[in-house]
Each structure stands twice: as C-alpha cells, then as structure tokens.
Amino acid sequence: MSWLDVVSAFTQFDLAQASDRPIVIDDADVPAMMRDLDRHRLVGVAAAAVERGRVEGAIACSAIAARHDEVMASSARIELLARRCSTRLAEAGIDHRLLKGAALAHLVASDSSEREYRDVDLLVPSESMDAAVDAMGDLGARRRRPELRPGFDRRFAKSVTMRLDGLEIDLHRTIAPGPFGALVKPGDLFVLPAAVRLAGRQVPTLDRTDHLVHACYHVALGSPTPVATNLRDVVLLGSGAIDTERAVATIRRWQGEAAVQRAIRLVDESIGWLPAPLGVLRDELDAGRTDMVECYLHGDDRFAEMAKATLRVLTGRDRIDYALAIGLPDGTSAVDRVRGLLSRE
C-alpha cells in the first residue's frame, strides 16, 4: 500500500462498510505516514487498528504505539484542562458548551483513546464572552492577541484564543469564521442540554444533532483541506440518532446550506459512503449561498477574504463597527495588530 492508501485506510477504519483488509505499511513509508497521521489526528485510530491486529509492519506498529502514548498523554492533559475551565465558568455563572475533540472523544469515538485533540474548545454566549475571558484569566490563562476594539469579541469574534500551561483554550462565540459564522445564531446551541463526563465531572456540551451541524461547518469551513479525523467525526455523528428535521431547520435558519452541502460532498469523496441522516440533509437542503464558500478556499490570504465576505453579510451599525475594528484597531501598533488579525485562524 502507498502511504496515501494507508492514511485513507485509517480514515475509514472501523466505519460501517469499511474494508477489513490488512493495512500493510512498508518500513520506508513510516516517517511520511506518521507525519500524516499526526496532521490528520489519526494516531488513536491507527493504534486501535494495531491493537486489533489489522496493521502489518513491525516498525510501523512500534512507531504508532510510541506516538499514541504521547498524543494520549497530551489529550488527557487537555481533558483535565477542559474540566478545569468548565468548573471555573460554572463558578462564575457562565453557561457554556464543550465543543469538538474533547467532547467527541467521549460521545462518538468507540473509545476515547481513538480520538486525539489539541486544544480546549468552549462555546460561551456572546454576551458572556468578556466575563468568560476574565474567568479564564483567573485560572492564569492569557489571551494570544488583544481585542481589536472594545466589544469586538462579544459582537464579532469567532473565538478568543488563550494559553495556559502551554495548552490552548479557544473560547468560541460562534462555530465558524467568516460570513457563515456571522450568520449562525449561537443561542440556538444552548437550547438542548447534553453532557460528557470528564474525570468524574459532568461538563455541558451540545446534543448530538448540534454536534453534527457543527462538525459539518468545521469540515467545510475550518480549512481548505479538512483534517481526516473531522471527516470521521461527521460520519460517526451521522451514524447515531440525529433529529434531521431540526438539523435542516437550524441550517436553513443560519443560511448554512452551502457549508453543509460542501461538508457532505467532502465526506462522501473521502469516506465513500454516507450514513442515512447525511443523505437526508443532502436531499432536503438547497445548494444555498455557494458564493460565500469561496472565501474559505483561499490559502494565505484566507482571513482577509473572509473579513470582506463578512462585511457583506453584516448590516447597519454592525457593518460599520466591524469595518472600523478590522481597519483601525485600537492599540499602539495598528500595523502589528492588523498583521496579527490577518494571521488568525
């Protein structure tokens, strides 16, 4: 097998209709394969395949097991940080929802050891964003970049990134960057409660249907070339009980049809099949605002293009204030701050 075939086999591993052929890895391919497993966050899946005797190649098995020890140590640290952040937010009376890997490792992976992740993602209500940043500051976290202008975070930011003990905390106001993120109604994600248990503590998260919508947004808009584990997330979420009627209504309300259709297409191309709920979404949803997807597909200047597209979906005072914040941020070094903004992702 070429190492690209190997990565593809791991992407599809243990999903319904996936091949059960052995995954044969040449010794010479191991370095490139390990780089790709890291990039696509498939080390946990690969380790599960090794444990079940599905991988052939002693050097590859050994490399996967060693790397798995490392990424699981990191994921466990991040899980405990997520728990700590949630505890602090609850103490401060701030509603919140755990997003992405730290939640999905417990919700959809066969075992949490199959799903690595690299940061803590927490959704907080827009009006609580400033208080949430302060609450994380109480723990010792420091934001990576200053706020562009007072009020920008709670009105326009996708997220505020903070660092604590060498780990990253993303406080999300919405679930996507750019115009699609601006059209999301984040309050919708606080309606239905769900929880995951992290080290003995219940931490609030999205319900499965909302996780699926978020996972689709992430696949479609998070990066021009999606990470394989995020494609798996969509399939794994879609393989469970999904309220497709509510998902369709939510996506329409957020004008997210084009984003979700793109995600479903990417999943279909990569995995080769779709669970039934994804087929329903594909058939029920229109093509939507496909013009808005374009700005997400740029490389280096992606953020600038997204900012321009965001301006087009904002109206009235919001459009003026957003343009001011982007064009004339507060602070002593506007050039540096704009440069920092343009490098955000």
Q: Residues in the site for another protein, rule: CB under 8 A?
A: 47, 50-51, 64-65, 68-69, 72-73, 75-77, 79-80, 83, 111-113, 198-201
d(CA 186, CA 174) in angstroms, rounded, equals: 6
Q: Nearest approach, Cβ of 127 to another protein (angstroms)?
A: 30
Q: Nearest approach, Cβ of 45 to another protein (angstroms)?
A: 13
Residue ranges in the chain assigned as alpha helix (H): 3-12, 30-39, 43-51, 58-91, 100-107, 129-138, 152-155, 178-183, 208-221, 228-238, 244-253, 257-271, 276-284, 302-313, 316-327, 334-342
Q: Nearest approach, Cβ of 260 to another protein (angstroms)?
A: 32
Ramachandran category for residue 163: left, alpha or beta (phi over 0 → left; psi -120 to 50 → alpha): beta
- What CA–CA distances, in Å, run from 258 to 129, 149, 181, 265? 28, 31, 13, 10
Q: Nearest approach, Cβ of 218 to another protein (angstroms)?
A: 23
First-last CA distance in the chain: 34
- Given the complex with another protein, which of 122 and 176 has the nearer CB atom? 122
Q: What is the DSSP string of 222-268?
A: S-SS--HHHHHHHHHHHTS---HHHHHHHHHHTT-HHHHHHHHHHHH
**Cα 143–Cα 210–Cα 201 angle in degrees, nearest 5:** 60
Torsion angles phi and psi, residue 227, rounded to 5 = -75, 140
Q: Nearest approach, Cβ of 77 to another protein (angstroms)?
A: 7
Q: What is the DSSP string of 145-191?
A: S--SSTTHHHHT-SEEEEEETTEEEEEESSSSSHHHHHH--GGGGGS
- Given the complex with another protein, which of 111 and 134 has the nearer CB atom? 111
Q: Nearest approach, Cβ of 198 to another protein (angstroms)?
A: 7
The DSSP letter of residue 97 is: E
- Given the complex with another protein, which of 66 and 192 has the nearer CB atom? 66
Angle, to 10 degrees, between the axis of helix 43-51 and the axis of helix 30-39? 120
- Given the complex with another protein, which of 28 and 199 has the nearer CB atom? 199
- Given the complex with another protein, which of 68 and 172 has the nearer CB atom? 68
The DSSP letter of residue 140 is: T
Residue type, 192: L
Contacts of 265 (CB under 8 A, 6+ apart): none
- Given the complex with another protein, which of 113 and 159 has the nearer CB atom? 113
Q: Nearest approach, Cβ of 107 to another protein (angstroms)?
A: 15
- Given the complex with another protein, which of 114 and 210 has the nearer CB atom? 114
Q: Nearest approach, Cβ of 78 to another protein (angstroms)?
A: 9
Residue type, 125: P
Residue type, 273: W
- Given the complex with another protein, which of 56 and 294 has the nearer CB atom? 56
Tokens describing residue 206? 């999205």
Q: Nearest approach, Cβ of 199 to another protein (angstroms)?
A: 5
Pairing of strands 142-143, 159-164: antiparallel
- Given the complex with another protein, which of 47 and 189 has the nearer CB atom? 47
